[in-house]
Structure 1
């Protein structure tokens, strides 16, 4: 089987700090590389939306390693959301009633520096194809689960054939009703939204929700917009989940524009997350009071359906905690 265009696009990604620095024309005094075990990965499609003359570009800040990652900050942990001990089988996590999450792969389209799974133990805790049978058997036995969530890494890192096989196995579990997929691919590598992928999801018996992760309106270029519109036209519910990030989207004008641009592309702005306290990302933190003020300002500007829910995740809580 030949390599798909999206796989070619992914293979051309930048993987070295020096290459990223050169591509964005950064001076060494602006961008000192930290010693990090979380490598650089930036697709060319995403890179093309970064202003190379702006060291504070909001897209650049999401993917550029900085010395702030080396800080050992109290209150920040490698298991930021308390999921390491919630595995039912390798890669199958159950934190909330009625839902289970499958870590389908360790691979992502892009390495976001604020990622709450940047320290996740993928080698022993992801649902590789060898572990699918264990996960499927466990899901079959737990009739309290009605929604299966595909996560990662990024589940769209799997080929269409592998996704079709996995979804087919999940469809055989009668008590599963809903399929949710969390992905950055439709925006950072829009070519991933292939006709075959759309057809697989269109044919599925599941009510499918695609949760995209978009933090700034500049991420939505023409190609990304087409990918979002194609998914919507295929019958998927599209939701967005953003992370509130200092210097990236912590301004009312930025969040207002994001909500409007999302909705223009058939995506509802569902969640605005406070930063998960993962070790290495403290420099992105926006305090809770500032976040509340931002949401109140957005409410004064936008209709209610365009105001995302401000939430935070607390380990062992029964649900995501609403802030306001």
Structure 2
């Protein structure tokens, strides 16, 4: 049973693990028994977007394998420094949907609250790798202004806690924020987008779950899991804690070259998510953010893979293939033709 939240019992273990995250490319390569021939490019790319990865995520990687699908998501590469036409710093036009600090309001009926500019892990394909988080680091006054923005727009039915990663915030901050949001009568749902149950599963504690679920609002947690190898024992246990608290669990992945761009890995991802009670929700085409062009999978390959997935798996375990396009009123579904399976 989850007991009432008390700010006096804020757990520190996850914060200590986070503080010990690997931020030096040399240390990462050494831990994984990889040759230092990768180091010069990693150091160069690290200067524009810093390496950050917690040790629980490193523990899921295969030592000696430079092509490990988890490593590939977080290791800085020289390819990031190459300029490619069409790859820009703000591919989704979010800075035009940032009406005031802390809010991204792109779609009808819902908005994002930027709870934290920090992440436990810096994913190299992140579409917000150039986002002006410094301008969205809110003071107390700005937090109240952000909440007032929601209060004044009764079309907003859902608030999405995002970032960075919102679960980097303390339990005390999250408890206050969810209570304030629940006090807005027209808000009906709360959603959290997070990678922490996968990269730092120690963050999922009784205290955190209470902070998120103690209000009237039903909670949906959307994980960002791209490969079945991310679902280790500790990660599955963290997910089970959320399930036992009655949280709806969805997953959105990104189709990434060299990570999950084949039928076997996509099937394994959906099967393993299903085994843990997580429903595959979206498979995103790569956002064209500057520095991530080497992850691009072309649309023809993507639709062929999706057609094969539809044949291999029951429909509820097949995510929707989508692309996010700046200025569009919703994510854009990509049609799949079974003829090309």
Q: TM-score range by the shorter chain?
A: over 0.9
The answer to whether structure 1 residue 312 and structure 2 residue 320 are counterparts is no
SS state at 2:267 partner: helix
Residue 207 of structure 1 aligns with which residue?
A: 218
The answer to whether structure 1 residue 265 and structure 2 residue 248 are counterparts is no
Residue 263 of structure 2 aligns with which residue?
A: 252
| RMSD (Å), alpha carbons | 1.2
Distance in 1 (CA, whole Å) between partners of 2:67 and 2:315 is 31
The CA deviation at 1:202 is 2.9
8 Å contact 2:88–2:288 — kept in the other structure?
A: yes
8 Å contact 2:18–2:54 — kept in the other structure?
A: yes
8 Å contact 1:92–1:126 — kept in the other structure?
A: no
Normalised TM-score (structure 1): 0.97
The CA deviation at 1:49 is 0.6
8 Å contact 2:105–2:112 — kept in the other structure?
A: yes
Distance in 1 (CA, whole Å) between partners of 2:92 and 2:222 is 19
Residue 151 of structure 2 aligns with which residue?
A: 140
Residue 3 of structure 2 aligns with which residue?
A: none
Residue 250 of structure 2 aligns with which residue?
A: 239
Of the candidates 149, 171, 184, which is equivalent to residue 182 of structure 2? 171
8 Å contact 1:212–1:238 — kept in the other structure?
A: yes
The CA deviation at 1:126 is 4.0
SS state at 1:29 partner: helix
The CA deviation at 1:3 is 5.8
Unpaired runs of at least 5, structure 2: 1-7, 336-341
Q: In the TM superposition, what are the counterparts of 1:65-76 in structure 2 within 5 Å?
A: 65-76=76-87
8 Å contact 2:110–2:158 — kept in the other structure?
A: yes
SS state at 2:312 partner: coil
- Runs of 4+ in structure 1 deviating by more than 3 angstroms, as ranges, are 126-130
Distance in 2 (CA, whole Å) between partners of 1:129 and 1:185 is 25
The CA deviation at 1:172 is 1.1
The CA deviation at 1:200 is 2.4
Unpaired runs of at least 5, structure 1: none
The CA deviation at 1:30 is 3.8
The CA deviation at 1:128 is 4.8
Q: In the TM superposition, what are the counterparts of 1:47-62 in structure 2 within 5 Å?
A: 47-62=58-73
Residue 119 of structure 2 aligns with which residue?
A: 108
Greater alpha carbon shift after TM alignment, 85-94 vs 174-183 = 85-94
Distance in 2 (CA, whole Å) between partners of 1:60 and 1:129 is 38
The answer to whether structure 1 residue 24 and structure 2 residue 32 are counterparts is yes
8 Å contact 2:270–2:317 — kept in the other structure?
A: yes
The CA deviation at 1:20 is 1.1
Q: In the TM superposition, what are the counterparts of 1:274-285 in structure 2 within 5 Å?
A: 274-285=285-296
Q: Which has the higher helix share?
A: 2
Go from structure 1 to structure 2 and tell me whether the alpha carbon gap of 1:168 and 1:285 turns closer, same or farther (over 3 Å shift): same
8 Å contact 2:26–2:36 — kept in the other structure?
A: no
Distance in 1 (CA, whole Å) between partners of 2:212 and 2:162 is 16
